[in-house]
Structure 1
Amino acid sequence: MTQHDFRASRRRALAQLSAAGLATASPWALRAAQAQTKMTIGVIYVGPKDDFGYNQAQAAAAAEVKKLPGIKVVEEENVPETTAVQKTMTGMIVQDGAKLLFPTSFGYFDPHMLALAAKYPDVRFSHCGGMWTEGKHPKNTGSFFGYIDECQYLNGVIAGHMSKSKKLGFVAAKPIPQVLRNINAFTMGARSVDPKITCTVIFTGEWSMAVKEAEATNSLADQGADVFTMHVDGPKVIVETAAKRGKMVCGYHASQAKLAPNAYLTGAEWNWLTAYKTIIEAAQAGKPHPNFLRGGLKEGYVKMSAYGPMVPEAAKTAADGIKAKMIAGSFDIFTGGLKDNKGAVVIPAGKVLKQTDLELEKMNYLVEGVVGSI
């Protein structure tokens, strides 16, 4: 029996014991139990909750949700993006009585979450990612995501101030639009400080592959990169490897400061509690399910890690000034005249892409200053 099967069997046993107990309970006890009923929420993670990355950022929000009144949270980690997640969601619905599920990983959406949503129309499903489309997907499903490229731009500003070699390193999983958007924003932030700066990217091809991440980090260090950032599920290996090589790091997903306190400059973090609370409050109030939630620094969907002690005041002032403009809505990352790293203009002069512009959701290029190819 696998660990997943054991957890599912345990849920079934607990549900049967609970049902037997209620069957013999007095009417008064039943009314008391019903009065104390909490809304059960399920959260599913593709990796460990303490990965210093994507899953930890979701788990941090879930930990805060547990403190909310009238809420019970059930969780399961290390659930693959296969039919295993359908079994997990079914268990949470049938055995635990979950009425709202947060399947947090990209690959959970189609076909897995959609299959369960059709089977259980009275259950709400909120997926982390950009997949939900009005008129195409069920009303009891939805998606939430954040404009974390704003934070990666600020990471780049700090990196631009700190780099001595004028060479930055970016370890990325796959060249999908969201990843490209982060690579580009980081590079553009750094080049706003010094246009001579370049950023070399290595794609590992996997969201989580420690060996490839270590190899990529060492390769970039060998090529002269002295400040690193990343877009993989768990940045731990990259942060620790870069620090061992005497390099500096800007984090991603969650804070990795305690992994390398003498190398960690700042980081781009998720603040998923904002989206979680919006979705939960709608469910508790019986309001329509929020199908499409997006936000950046202004809305509190993303945030920056605290600055490390080595970051000078000039760098902090520069980054904080741009951050204030982002929050005020007076700063746009992707503006007219932007070229890709092959010299072609990808955003015409005079055009500005706002965060809500669908063109950004389809980004398929690397900007000028990025060394690498898709």
Structure 2
Amino acid sequence: MNRRTLLAFATLSTALAAFGPAHAEEPLKVGFVYIGPVGDAGWTYAHEQGRLQMEKALGGKVKSTYVENVPEGADSERVIRKLAADGNKLIFTTSFGYMNATEKVAKAFPNVVFQHATGFKTMKNMGSYEARLYEGAYLQGIIAGKMTKTNTLGMVGSFPVPEVIRNINAFTLGAQSVNPKIRTKVVWVNSWYDPAKERQAAETLIAQGADVLTQNTDSPATLQVAQEKGKYAFGWDSDMQRFAPKAHLTASTNQWGGYYTEVAKAVMAGTWKTGQVHGGLTEGMVKMSPLNPVVPADAAKLFEEKKAAFTSGKAKPFQGPIKDQSGAIKVAAGAELPMKDVLSMNFYVQGVEGTIPK
């Protein structure tokens, strides 16, 4: 082989190497920050299932990691900042209390995309997203209103933020749509995940006469108490049927996999843009788990009809007339509560007992 042939071979080898593994495009690094344990039910579990679905859909194009049990506050800022410093170019922060920390870190890492769940702040490299779980809460209310014998429902609340208040109100409105006598009691546990407190709250609600319970917390403790006491309850964020099969009537579940996949694809393509995303039954971001066979046929029929109306966009949970606890009209008959007011909801509808903690 002469020198010219050797030179040509070397040139070809160099050109081929440019397309080989040494120059292969690096996978997009994606970080997730979780408020609770991954576990096997609830809010964090649903996000983790979404992360796994994203990885399955995109294969080697992404490399993701997560940090669980991250408290809201200073700890969250430290964790978010470390994920950015470690080279993650897309970071999902999945709790309302991470909002300010996410904003602060986003300012320090302008080339990283941040997506914050359930908040309202956005900037050039920070968007927000959430599911319209209140659609599911309304549907649960229909079942509860039909099945209660005491006309008293119970809600185990996490924190008195708009996200939770609108779920309480939607649940109550759904129940009142089939049973105007409904009253809803609320016990706050001031935690997203605390099985012991959730259990105590559920026991308190049942002692106060509630015979159908729902929750805005992560563990199946509320359901388990309901089953022990011969009452009914609903799962939240994920299907919790296996924890209390006799008590579990249905669950309003989060489906994050499709959304996480699309956001990652947009970041990789350079087409991601900031904004606020609110997905529900229509978009497949909310899904109701199968109904328990104990649900009466007439209740199941109403449930399916309203679910179809929400999915098609023909109906909304916060359509008037809606009154607050004082009897004042908040939404006139035929009108719909604007999304900005849904997102900032700070009042109880008529029928919810007690006051919102400050």
> Normalising by the residue count of structure 1, what TM-score does the alignment of the two structures yield?
0.85
Give the alignment partner of residue 341 of structure 2, picking from 346, 356, 359. Answer: 359
Q: Rate the CA distance shift 1:185–1:220 in 2: closer, same or farther, 3 A.
A: same
**1:341, 1:170 → 2: CA distance?**
17
Structure 1 residue aligned with 2:27: 38
Q: Does structure 1 residue 196 correspond to structure 2 residue 181?
A: yes
Structure 2 residue aligned with 1:100: 90
**1:176, 1:74 → 2: CA distance?**
28
Q: Rate the CA distance shift 1:196–1:86 in 2: closer, same or farther, 3 A.
A: closer
Aligned length: 339
Structure 2 residue aligned with 1:76: 67
Segments ≥4 residues shifted beyond 6 Å: none
Q: Contact 1:297 / 1:326 at 8 angstroms: preserved in 2? A: yes
Q: Rate the CA distance shift 1:78–1:33 in 2: closer, same or farther, 3 A.
A: farther
TM-aligned CA deviation for residue 202 of structure 1: 1.6
TM-aligned CA deviation for residue 80 of structure 1: 2.0
Q: Contact 1:282 / 1:290 at 8 angstroms: preserved in 2? A: no
What secondary structure, in the 3-state scheme, does the structure 1 residue paired with 2:179 have?
coil
Q: Contact 1:156 / 1:186 at 8 angstroms: preserved in 2? A: yes
Q: Report which stretch shifted further, 50-59 or 256-265.
A: 50-59
Letter matched to residue 127 of structure 1: H
Whichever of the two has the greater Rg, that structure is 2
TM-aligned CA deviation for residue 197 of structure 1: 2.0
Letter matched to residue 359 of structure 1: D
Letter matched to residue 163 of structure 1: T
Letter matched to residue 65 of structure 2: V
Letter matched to residue 192 of structure 1: S
**2:226, 2:32 → 1: CA distance?**
32
Structure 2 residue aligned with 1:307: 291
Structure 2 residue aligned with 1:64: 53
**2:286, 2:104 → 1: CA distance?**
30
Q: Contact 1:202 / 1:372 at 8 angstroms: preserved in 2? A: no
**1:33, 1:88 → 2: CA distance?**
31
Q: Which runs of 5+ in 1 are unaligned?
A: 1-26
**1:174, 1:84 → 2: CA distance?**
19
**1:366, 1:91 → 2: CA distance?**
40
Q: Does structure 1 residue 347 correspond to structure 2 residue 328?
A: no
Q: Contact 2:143 / 2:299 at 8 angstroms: preserved in 1? A: yes
Q: Contact 1:45 / 1:55 at 8 angstroms: preserved in 2? A: yes
TM-aligned CA deviation for residue 51 of structure 1: 5.5
Structure 2 residue aligned with 1:15: none
Deviations 1:145-199 (A, max 9, x none): 1111111000011112222222211111222222111111111111111111222
Structural mapping, 1:109-124, within 5 Å: 109-110=99-100, 112-124=101-113
Structure 1 residue aligned with 2:272: 288
Q: Does structure 1 residue 163 correspond to structure 2 residue 148?
A: yes
Give the alignment partner of residue 200 of structure 2, picking from 215, 222, 225. Answer: 215
Q: Which runs of 5+ in 2 are unaligned?
A: 1-15
